[in-house]
Amino acid sequence: MLRLFVGLELPDGVIARLNIMCAGVPGATWVEPANMHITLRFIGEVEEHVAEEIDAALARIEAKAFSLELSGVGTFGEGTKARALWAAVTPSPELSHLHAKVESAVVRAGVPPEGRKFTPHVTLARLDHTPPARLHTFVEGNGLFQAGPFTVDHLTLFESRLGIGSPVYTPLADYPLI
């Protein structure tokens, strides 16, 4: 079994800007800089033959390269129920179009459709018992964060290996955008 997701890699300069923010929140488990990315589609665990079908379907995607920017920060969940802290991706019709193509390709490969709404972001931290006041202060203090624009010229199929500590994300294949 392989645990997979499709994502967009970030330029080193953007990762460095994000990493500077990653401190000062009790209960936050910060994402390693090497793991920062934008998820287009979490796939989960699949058999090897399904992974091959996904690879073939992603290779058939035709989309144009485009620019993206990050702007602001937020959380999934609120108050004591906050579970993740993230940097927002500025809305982009090109990103939405690419996401739709990826979703269609993954479903054609035999994976059930994603049930959640696509909310493009870069996860900065997982949260556990984070004091709401400290989280609010972080979000307010970094609300004007911006990075980019940067060019998105490919998407990547990643394997995610869980273990002790941070997961390890390994790029399996890149798919160029034209």
Active site residues: 37, 121
Any idea how long the chain is? 178
- Cβ–Cβ under 8 Å, residues 1 and 46: yes
- Cβ–Cβ under 8 Å, residues 86 and 69: no
- Cβ–Cβ under 8 Å, residues 22 and 49: no
How far apart, in Å, are the Cα atoms of 101 and each of 58, 63, 105?
Answer: 9, 8, 6
Q: Give the span between the Cα atoms of 21 and 42, in whole angstroms.
A: 25
- Cβ–Cβ under 8 Å, residues 133 and 48: no
